[in-house]
Structure 1
């Protein structure tokens, strides 16, 4: 079950990842890729919010219908307690609202998680490129080791 707390945690993680990544961005292509990830995520979030606001009434009606169908279906697990109203309008409305808002928050969390993964992939690509750049220098230093005798046979740290 996702809550607004989960949404806050994913937002906090995404912001920390962005802040950490900014110090690694050195080329214009890295900055462009960073900005593109940010633009795509903002657009996806805005589209989700607009769609949710536009279709909220339809989503609530559909959720109410599903809840009414669930309430009207026979349950073979245990009998309904005497005096229990499974068709209580306020309970059904509250549960429908909760389900619709939870589905919306789940989609927002997914968008933010995908954005965080895209930033992590960018960081991984930058790190791989930097390691490839340092490899020839490290190999040259290893080959041109000027130590004598037994010291040469011992690995340098």
Structure 2
């Protein structure tokens, strides 16, 4: 499943934004989790790149062999033999195999990016909740023990209405 250009740009921008937001975290436990995710994803990318470079030719050969087998499989199309010609082109099969291997490599890298994005998003959302909760207990306690006089607390004069 190939992504459209707008989807790719959106995912890349989301990942870059999350990386920037994650780099501004200040709590040690959050920062530790962010660095762990970055380290794991970087290691996975390096490992995938090395595997791609070392196994490229064998993967291309395996995909090429699969394409040859698929093309040579008996089909039950109702066409006479003389109506068609053999469209077998070895160079075209090799190019197709190389395209499929590169596309599979890009999909694996995109999956690593998606794992990084979901991990960072969870950490950033959790830190936003923690930062928003910080100080709320202090504010509520401050309101409960407000020692100002009746008029100062309300901020305006109020009259007692007689009925």
Shift of 1:51: 0.7
Give the count of matched residue pairs.
147
Cα distance per residue 1:55-105 (max 9 Å; x no partner): 1111111101110011011233564861242x3101110110011100000
2:18 matches 1:17: yes
Residues of 1 paired with 2:12 and 2:52: CA distance?
Answer: 19
Give 1:142 shift: 6.7
In structure 1, runs of 5+ residues without a counterpart are 149-157
The DSSP-based 3-state class of the residue aligned with 2:36 is: helix
Structure of higher CA gyration radius: 2
Aligned to 1:29: 29
The answer to which of 38-47 and 123-132 deviates more is 123-132
1:121 maps to 122
Q: TM-score, normalised by structure 1?
A: 0.77
How far the C-alpha of 1:3 sits from its partner, in A, is 6.8
Deviates more, 1:126-135 or 1:52-61: 126-135
Poorly superposed stretches of 4+, deviation over 6 Å:
none
CA distance in 2, matches of 1:12, 1:78: 51
Q: Given the alignment of the two structures, is residue 57 of structure 1 paired with residue 57 of structure 2, yes or no?
A: yes
Deviations 1:22-66 (A, max 9, x none): 33x112222222222111111100000001111111111110111
Higher mean C-alpha deviation, range 56-65 or range 1-10: 1-10
